[in-house]
Amino acid sequence: MKKMLALLLALCMVLALAACTSNKPAASASPAASPAASAATGEVKDIKGMTVAFIPKLTGNSFFEAANDGAQKYAADWGITVKYMGSATASVTDQLTVIDQAIAEGVDAIAISSVDAKALDEKLKEAQDAGIVVCTWDSDVSSDARSIMVSQGTADILGPMLVEMGVKSLTERGKDPTKDAIKYVWHYSQATVADQNSWYVAGEAYIKEKYPNWVVVSEPFYSEQDSQKSVSVGESILEAYSDIDLIICNDSTALPGQCQAAQNKGLTAEDITITGFCTPSGMKSYLDAGITTRWGLWDCGIQGGLGCYFAAYLAAGNTIKVGDTINVPGIGDCTVIANDQLVSGDTTADTNNGVVLLPERVEFTKDNIAQYNF
The 10s digit of each residue's pLDDT in 112-161 is 999 999 999 999 999 999 999 999 999 999 999 999 999 999 999 999 99
Q: Within the chain, which residues score under 50 in pLDDT?
A: 1-19, 22-41
Task: Output phi, psi for 206, to 5 deg.
Answer: -65, -40
Please give the DSSP secondary-structure letter assigned to residue 158. Answer: H
Domain ranges of the chain: 2-153+299-360, 155-297
2-153+299-360 against 155-297: fold identical: yes
Would you state the CATH architecture of domain 2-153+299-360?
3-Layer(aba) Sandwich (3.40)
CA–CA dist 156, 56 (Å, integer): 24
Residue 349 and residue 10 in contact, taking contact as beta carbons nearer than 8 Å:
no
Q: Is 180 exposed, middle or buried (0-12, 13-18, 19+ CB in 10 A)?
A: middle
Q: Please tell me the predicted confidence (pLDDT) of residue 158.
A: 97
Task: Output phi, psi for 332, to 5 deg.
Answer: 135, -165
Coil, helix or strand for 320? coil
Would you state the CATH architecture of domain 155-297?
3-Layer(aba) Sandwich (3.40)
Give the contacts of 360 (CB within 8 A, at least 6 positions apart): 22, 26, 298, 299
pLDDT in tens, 334-364: 999 999 999 989 999 999 999 999 988 999 9
Q: Please tell me the predicted confidence (pLDDT) of residue 20.
A: 60
Q: Please tell me the predicted confidence (pLDDT) of residue 194.
A: 87
CA–CA dist 212, 200 (Å, integer): 16
